[in-house]
Amino acid sequence: MLHPQNPRDWYGLGRWKTRARFQMQSHPLCAHCLEKGLVVKAVIADHIEPHRGDWNRFWLGELQSLCRKCHESGKKFAEHRGFRSDIGLDGWPTDPAHPTYGNRVK
C-alpha cells in the first residue's frame, strides 16, 4: 500500500483523524491519570506499544487516551526505559513492566 514515507505525516491522514476521534470519544479520560485515581480529560490518542514507524502497527496497534502531561513525561520515559514510573493509589507502580515486578527480558 502506498503511504507517506515519514510517520509524522501519518497523523495528518484523514483515516488517522477518524480513528483518533473515535478513541477520544470512547475513552475521553487520560488512562495514566485514571490509574492514579485522577480524572483528567485526555487530548491525545497514543499507541500503547510504540509503532516505531511500522505502518501496520500504526493502524492496528492498540490505542490509549492520554492528557498532554502524561503523553510527554510518561511515554518518553517508558519508551526509553521500557516501563513507566507512575505510582498507583495502592503505592505500587501502575505499570506491570516496572522492575518492581521483576525484570522482563524482551
Q: Footprint of Zn ion on this chain (CB under 5 A)?
A: 30, 32-33, 40, 67, 70
- The nearest distance, CB 24 to Zn ion, in angstroms, is 13
Side-chain-side CA neighbours of 31 within 13 Å: the count stands at 20
Radius of gyration for the chain, computed over Cα atoms and rounded to the nearest angstrom: 15
User: Which set of grid coordinates corresponds to residue 73?
Assistant: 513525561
- The nearest distance, CB 28 to Zn ion, in angstroms, is 12
User: What sign does the dihedral 88-92-98-104 (CA atoms) show?
Assistant: negative
Which is nearer to Zn ion, 30 or 45 (by Cβ)? Answer: 30
- The nearest distance, CB 37 to Zn ion, in angstroms, is 11
- In whole angstroms, what separates CA 28 from the centre of its chain? 14
Which is nearer to Zn ion, 27 or 57 (by Cβ)? Answer: 27
Which is nearer to Zn ion, 10 or 77 (by Cβ)? Answer: 77
